[in-house]
Every structure is written in structure tokens, then in C-alpha cells.
Amino acid sequence: MAPNWRWDDVRFFLAAAREGSHSGAAKALGVDHVTVARRIAALEEQLHTKLLSRTPDGLAPTSAGQTILQQCETMQGAALALERMIAGQDTRTAGAIRMTATDVLGSRVLMPVIVALRKRHPELQIDLLTGVRSLDIARREADLAVRVSTVRPTESQLVCRKLGEIGFTLYASSQYLARRGTPVRGQGLANHDLISFPGMPRLARPFFLGESLEGARYAVRSNDQYVQLTAASEGLGVCELACFFGDSHSEVLRLWPEEPPNLRPVWLITHQDLQRAARIRVVSAAIAAAFERNAKTLRYGRPRLIPH
């Protein structure tokens, strides 16, 4: 191996190999694509070989790149383990924390927590990454994750705490229901337009309260729950929303207001090497307290009856 081969360059190569593009790697690493290309070029120059080539499907490792890929993965695992062990011994309530959650939980539940934490601990820097994609905690894509999942995460290196439950039910605009009629509970959603995710998260089933979707049509799909709410409020179809979120918007109504919400557990997850770090403990405690304070609303929302 080249004597000046640096781990910091290797991580750029690994990210590009995983993501299949400089732009994808840049997004994963939080840098610009020019930096990614430059650092990979520097590594290739040090090793005197081409590591990635362009294909119709994006960047792919060359034979040389494929040869060193496993060793690079091992290097990354060792580097991340070292980072976690050092971070886990940190006794300061300061420094950066990367948190991930859905956009609704991030804005409605976690942001007030962050505001309060920053007042008490101004040296904390919190990166809040929102979306339904599960970031890899072992690879330090996130330090803390708030995940809605009907299945408890079981990875051996993760520490998992149940925060409570989130209630979900179906919503549509009054205009849509007047035009298309309210479906009958238990008889499916045939002939109705649906609003959902491009790929339904497999760990948060059943969707649409378990109603049969045979004969239904997807009108809009989006990873952004605020976009889904907007589509429903514009009369584009039936949408499944967290009750505390849907009930706070008068533009949409519950399809079956007397029907109990579908409850899904929500978990707080971190890596076992980080759980003793002061900043992780402080932020985790604040998140857990926020879920406890808002437990009833998060489970049941604030239902409004559909006028008849």
C-alpha cells in the first residue's frame, strides 16, 4: 500500500462506490461533489491505479477498486469504532449530534426539544436529518434515531428504547369525500385515489388501516409527509397520517372518526458505544421526556367529527 494512503481519502472512495455517483457520495458525506471527485483522484494518484469507472448505471469499482473494497470496509469499521469509543467517553454536554426522524416528528416533536436544549446547552450542535429512510447508526450516518416501526430493532450493537406509540388513521378533504363518497370501513378502498410513499416502509405496516387496496389507484406518492398532507387537502385522494398531525389541519378530515387509530411503536436508537456520552444522554433524556409529555396526543390526536 502507498505510504501516504489516508483513511480520510478512503471514505470518499467508499461513499462513491456505495452511492454510484459523486453527487450521491457528496450528499452522504455532507460535502460538495467537486470535493468528492478531487479526493478520489488524489487516492487514485497515490495508488497509481483507477478505482472507479463510469458505467450506464453510474460509478462502479474497477477490478483494482473491487480488490481493495473489502479492506476499505474493514478500515472504515475500525475508524468508526474508534470514533464511537472516543465519543462515548466524552463528559461534555457539547459538540455535534446527528439525529434522524420523519419530517413530521422532526418538526412537531423534536424541534421544540432542540430549542430548549440549545438554551440550556449552547455548545451543542444538532444536525436534524428528516425523512423515512433509515440511516445507518453503525456507520455514524446518525448518532440518534427516532424511528416508527412495528418491529423492535434487534441489531446487537444498537441500544433501543421505546418512547411510546404514534396513532395513524385515514384522512381526506371534505371536497373529496363529497365527490367520491366515504368508503365503508372493512370493505376496502376500491375506486378511491390514494396518497402515500413511493415505497411503503416495510417496518410500519399495516398501511391504510389494513383495508384492501384492490381496485384503488395511487394519485400521488411522496417521501415528504407535508406534501402528502397538501395533496390530500387539495382533494387528490385518501392519505394515512399521524393523528396528531392530521387533526391539526382543518383542510382534511378523518374518514372514520369513531375508529380507534392504528398504533405504531416509536423507538429511540443509538449505538452502544455512544450511550454513555454526556451529550447523547442529555439529548436522549429530553426526547424521552417530550414523548412522555405528549403521549396522549401522539397516540390519539385531537379528533374532529365529520359533519353529516
Helix segments in the chain, DSSP class H: 7-19, 22-29, 33-47, 63-88, 103-105, 111-120, 174-180, 225-233, 243-246, 278-293, 295-300
For residue range 103-143, list pLDDT tens digits in order.
999 999 999 999 999 999 988 889 898 887 776 666 667 88
Judge if 7-88 and 93-308 fold alike in CATH terms: no
Kindly state the average pLDDT of the residues 240-258. 95
Statement: residue 4 has pLDDT above 70: no
- CB atoms closer than 10 angstroms to residue 140: 19
> Whole-angstrom Cα distance, residue 183 to residue 37?
53
The predicted pLDDT at position 59 comes to: 82
The predicted pLDDT at position 91 comes to: 54
Kindly state the average pLDDT of the residues 213-220. 95
Statement: residue 229 has pLDDT above 80: yes
In contact, 161 and 284? CB cutoff 8 Å: yes
All structural domains of the chain with their residue ranges: 7-88, 93-308
Highest mean pLDDT: which of 123-137, 204-218, 246-260, 267-281?
A: 246-260
For residue range 66-109, list pLDDT tens digits in order.
777 777 777 766 666 666 555 545 556 668 888 999 999 999 99
Statement: residue 246 has pLDDT above 90: yes
| Bridge partner list, 98 | 127
> Whole-angstrom Cα distance, residue 9 to residue 254?
52
The predicted pLDDT at position 215 comes to: 94
Pick the CATH number of 7-88 from 1.10.3720.10, 3.30.379.10, 3.30.420.270, 1.10.10.10: 1.10.10.10
> Whole-angstrom Cα distance, residue 153 to residue 235?
36
> Whole-angstrom Cα distance, residue 17 to residue 236?
39
Cα torsion 110, 161, 207, 240 to 10°: value is -20
Statement: residue 172 has pLDDT above 90: yes
- Please determine, looking at this structure, whether the domain spanning 93-308 carries the CATH number 3.40.190.290: yes
